[in-house]
Amino acid sequence: MPKTWLDTPQPGTPCSIIAEVGQNHDGSLGLAHAFIDAIAEAGADAVKFQTHIAAAESTPNEPWRKQFSTQDATRYDYWRRMEFTPSQWQGLKNHASEKGLHFLSSPFSLQAIDLLTRVGVRAWKVPSGEITNTPLLDGMLQTGLPVILSTGLSPLSEIDTMVSYIRTFPNPMAVLQCTSMYPCPPEFIGLNVLSDFRARYQCAVGFSDHSGTIFPGLAATGMGIEVLEIHVTLSREMFGPDIASSVTTMELRELVRGIRLIERIRQHPVNKELVPAEIAPLRDIFMKSIVAKTDLTEGTTLTTEHLAFKKPGTGLSPQRVNEVVGHRLRHDMQQDAPITLKDLA
């Protein structure tokens, strides 16, 4: 597995592929562990959860983003059902490490930062809705860990302010293009923003994908991102508000294969002034030569009707046909014999 941005957090490193479970475990600890196994098998670099502590981050009057659950009377109840105990979080982290995955979880409160600091995370992912929560950001930055900043709800002026603030700390940073729509339609993906971020902030950039497909992530990789976060589900038949915005773990496997292939292509630019040694022998196989169309006798003045263009390409190229037409043959030639300049008077 290549060393990626999460291993060496600086611009120009291979892309860290972060599989975002979010709430797709629906409060089931067993399902959360099943996600870790499936994500590791798919070849991602990291698994990411969200650490919600209802009493620390929400009020009982928080409105639903999308009313989807008949099990939970309020969104506050839903967050309570999504909570895991500290020992359960530690078990998830340990499981991820055993599977060779970096462990990440977005905190939504200072208490969540304290919990995750004890558990151990590789980096902090700042959710789009927390980008202006300076106390929360301070709690992350004071740990010295890398920061991944999502920008799905913010205009450039707000992003500028937060990037400048983060730069007052020594933490490595990646800025992610994101549009907080679930699922996000193609018209709002905004891959053009990646090059804008790169030039504007001179740091690692990435993409947080809510499209529910692998294609925007592949396209973003072609632009040289260092971080890709993509929502993942075990099946499209699962329950939850983010299933439509997620790819399956089987699709994740294909995404990982595609990203590593794209990176390999980008690492090996081709000089079209040179013919690679590996394909030079194929020129003779695939290209064609000027040959006698029929049996021809000595003294024949050649016209295009006397000529054919056939493989292999070991003789005169068809592009030199004007050097042959109008000349007389020095000797008899059999059908399909290559015609060379030595055969001409």
Express as a percent the part of the chain with pLDDT over 70.
100
Mean pLDDT of the chain, nearest integer? 96
* CA-closest candidate to residue 252, choices 73, 27, 17, 9: 17
Q: Looking at residue 64, what is its pLDDT?
A: 80
**For residues 289 and 314, is the Cβ–Cβ distance under 8 A?**
yes
- Name the band, by pLDDT with cuts 50, 70 and 90, for residue 97: very high
Q: Looking at residue 73, what is its pLDDT?
A: 84
Kindly report, as residue ranges, where domains of CATH 3.20.20.70 are found in the chain. 16-266
Q: Write the DSSP string, 254-318.
A: HHHHHHHHHHHHHTS---TTS--TTTHHHHHHHS-EEEESS-B-TTPBP-GGGEEEES--SS--G
Q: Looking at residue 83, what is its pLDDT?
A: 96
Q: Looking at residue 1, what is its pLDDT?
A: 60
- Name the band, by pLDDT with cuts 50, 70 and 90, for residue 51: very high
| For residue 2, pLDDT beyond 90 | no
Name the CATH superfamily, with its identifier, for domain 16-266.
Aldolase class I (3.20.20.70)
CATH domain 280-343 topology: Type Iii Antifreeze Protein Isoform Hplc 12 (3.90.1210)
Amino acid letter, 107: P
Amino acid letter, 118: R
- Name the band, by pLDDT with cuts 50, 70 and 90, for residue 16: very high
* CA-closest candidate to residue 82, choices 111, 57, 53: 53
Predicted confidence (pLDDT) per residue in 229-283, tens digit? 999 999 999 988 899 999 999 999 999 999 999 999 999 999 999 988 889 899 9
| For residue 27, pLDDT beyond 70 | yes
- Better-scored residue on pLDDT, 65 or 176: 176
Kindly report, as residue ranges, where domains of CATH 3.90.1210.10 are found in the chain. 280-343
Q: Looking at residue 320, what is its pLDDT?
A: 97
- Distance between CA atoms of residues 338 and 248, nearest Å: 57
Among 55-64, 168-177, 181-190, where is mean pLDDT lowest?
Answer: 55-64
